[in-house]
Amino acid sequence: AQKVTQAQTEISVVEKEDVTLDCVYETRDTTYYLFWYKQPPSGELVFLIRRNSFDEQNEISGRYSWNFQKSTSSFNFTITASQVVDSAVYFCALSELTGNQFYFGTGTSLTVIP
């Protein structure tokens, strides 16, 4: 069965600290997509990254980086030098390549304290 687990329900960090959000997934498919979304207090989900299961290269975008490890079925997200604007709920998701099904984790609520 397809499943995404975000074990961290809430995290608080002090501004400028680094923080890693964990995501572990289960899938029977050999090819799939993985995603991270950010949901700020305004409510709209903002796409952050999509990763194809073929591509295990880590990715860095500014202060954000993602570590994809197929061997451990994990797709972790690190924010370096966190800022107050990073406070949000972050969702990890998995989809089939057909796009007919998306599976979301329960989200991690990140609070960055000034």
Partner 1 sequence: DVKVTQSSRYLVKRTGEKVFLECVQDMDHENMFWYRQDPGLGLRLIYFSYDVKMKEKGDIPEGYSVSREKKERFSLILESASTNQTSMYLCASWGEGYEQYFGPGTRLTVT
* In the complex, minimum distance from the CB of residue 27 to partner 1, in angstroms, rounded to a whole number: 16
Q: Which is nearer to partner 1, 47 or 83 (CB)?
A: 47
Q: Which is nearer to partner 1, 44 or 114 (CB)?
A: 44
Per rule CB under 8 A, is residue 100 in the interface with partner 1? yes
> What is the rounded distance in angstroms from the CA atom of residue 15 to the CA atom of residue 18?
9
Per rule CB under 8 A, is residue 107 in the interface with partner 1? yes
HSE on the CB side for 68, CA within 13 Å?
Answer: 20
Q: Which is nearer to partner 1, 41 or 114 (CB)?
A: 41
> What is the rounded distance in angstroms from the CA atom of residue 104 to the CA atom of residue 113?
27
Rg (CA), the chain: 14
Per rule CB under 8 A, is residue 47 in the interface with partner 1? yes
Identify whether the C-beta of residue 14 lies closer than 8 Å to the C-beta of residue 66.
no
Among 53, 95, 110, 112, binds partner 1 (CB under 8 A): 95
Q: How far is C-alpha 82 from the chain's CA centre?
A: 15
Q: Which residues bind partner 1 (CB under 8 A)?
A: 9, 33, 35, 37, 42-45, 47, 50, 91, 93, 95, 99-102, 104-107
